[in-house]
A and B are shown apart, each in its own frame.
Chain A
Amino acid sequence: MIELRDVWFSYNSGKPIIHGVNLRLSNEITIIIGPNGAGKTTLLKIIACLYKPDKGDVLIDGVNFWKLKSKEKLIMRRKIVYVHENPVLFKGTVMDNVTYPLIIRGHSLEKAREKALKLLKSLKLEYLTDRKRNELSAGEFQLVAIARAIISGAKYIVLDEPTSNLDLEHRIVLESIIREIVKSGKQVIIATHDRLFALKLNTEIIEINNGEIRSILHSKDLYQEIEEFIKKAGKKSLNS
């Protein structure tokens, strides 16, 4: 489990962006929603131990991450992987990218390639294996970045706006990927604006605004909201 205790965070400007957040992430899937600039990305990077809070603690499986020595930090950090909202891929092919987390963990190139190919096949992305990063569509790019994160074997997978470039078909692919991940005992944390996606994942939703937790909802609660939205939108377009 990942736990945040009274976490405060500010960028250079000094004004706090995250205000005393307390959070226990114990569900298989947790969704974080909130308007632009609410602090979702910042919060995810704190959860992923990429940003150090100014104040407060981040506990990974009960261990206080920022109190660890650097060697222990590496081991702990390898339990969590974060995918940026605009991910970057490295030079080289998709295969080079997807094998990277294995290579840096000391796997042989041959073994890493074997594993990567297996994963790409299961995600129906094997046709991309030898492509370079500038030969991918935005959606393919995002899926490759997610595949690269999954192969790391991290227990906690943190996805920032994973559906932003995906069409309906690939959203369904992503949804099944997430279900697969969870089945193998892992935990997924997702920030998204995509309420339909949040609804489909049928899980706990944390709503944040101005760096604070506003409410904790469930996908079901979104249903009504979306229904009302559609009704209103429908009326409007009929009237016009």
Chain B
Amino acid sequence: MSFIGEIIEITIRSVTISLSATILSSLWSIPLSLIIARSRSRMTKALMGVLNSLIGFPTVLVGLFLYIIFSSSGPLGGLGILYTPFAIMIGEALLITPLLISLSYEIFSKAYYEYWETSITLGATPAQAFMKLITERFEDIIVVLLIGFSRAIGELGVALMVGGNIRGFTRVFTTTIALEVSKGNFDIALFLGFILLIIVSTTSAIIRIMGGRKSD
């Protein structure tokens, strides 16, 4: 495959894996943050403290942890997903979970919680109230997801340890950059780094534009 062809392939793979990981993570992170925001218990504050400290959790430890679980002698070894894109996706989804919960908790715990209460008292089922909350805060939630995506696409530890950097299969931006640097190909590494930078900064530009727009 041509050089450019391979780069395009890596780009598509990286974006796909990290985007899927973000969506996967949001499936549990957003409902969980809502549950935490709704609870009046004193445990909530303690729990959020723990979650906030997990935001900076070393990615390589998440990778190691999943490696142990997914390796053939591990508890989920039978699934045979070690060294697949699927494993990277799960790892990244777990990695960004504390970040997504913490950021969506901010959204839900403020005045926005009133939308939930208002829907419920107007007769909504919990599912309908949840939908209302999501539609009311749609822009904010997209911003949260984009921040999660940026973190996922830029991490190396998980992709390397459970992805294995297999050419044409699990190779993503960060693992390619690491590999090319180790081979002494700084120009290729810099070029890939440049593309990654464009993706991440485009994402944060979108975040800024969406965050700045007064939602109505």
- Take A104-B122, A132-B216 as given contacts and tell me if A12 and B41 are in contact as well, using a CB distance cutoff of 8 Å: yes
**Which of A48, A70, A132 is close to B121, meaning CB atoms less than 8 Å apart?**
A48
Taken together as a complex, chains A and B put the C-alpha atoms of A104 and B122 apart, in Å, by 9
- Contacting B at CB under 8 A, from A21-74, are 48, 50, 70, 74
| 18 further interface pairs, Cβ-Cβ under 8 Å (given A78-B123, A104-B119) | A12-B40, A12-B41, A12-B44, A12-B45, A14-B42, A48-B121, A70-B126, A80-B121, A81-B122, A81-B123, A82-B117, A84-B114, A88-B111, A90-B136, A91-B135, A134-B216, A149-B121, A149-B122
B132 CB contacts on chain A under 8 angstroms: 90
Q: Does B68 contact A (CB under 8 A)?
A: no
Q: What is the distance, in angstroms, from A137's C-beta to the closest C-beta of chain B?
A: 17
Instruction: Count A-B pairs with CB separation below 8 Å.
Output: 60
Do A50 and B120 form a contact, CB below 8 Å, given A12-B41, A91-B216?
A: yes
Residues of B with C-beta under 8 A to A77: 120-121, 123
On chain B, which size bracket covers the interface?
20 to 34
Residue from A88, A101, A104 in contact with B114 in the complex, judged by beta carbons closer than 8 Å: A88
The answer on a CB contact under 8 Å between B121 and A133 is: no
* Chain B at the A interface: SS class: helix
Which size class do A's interface residues fall under?
20 to 34
A-B contact pairs, 7 of them (CB 8 A): A12-B44, A48-B121, A50-B120, A82-B117, A84-B114, A90-B115, A149-B122
Once the chains bind, are A104 and B125 in contact (CB under 8 Å)? yes
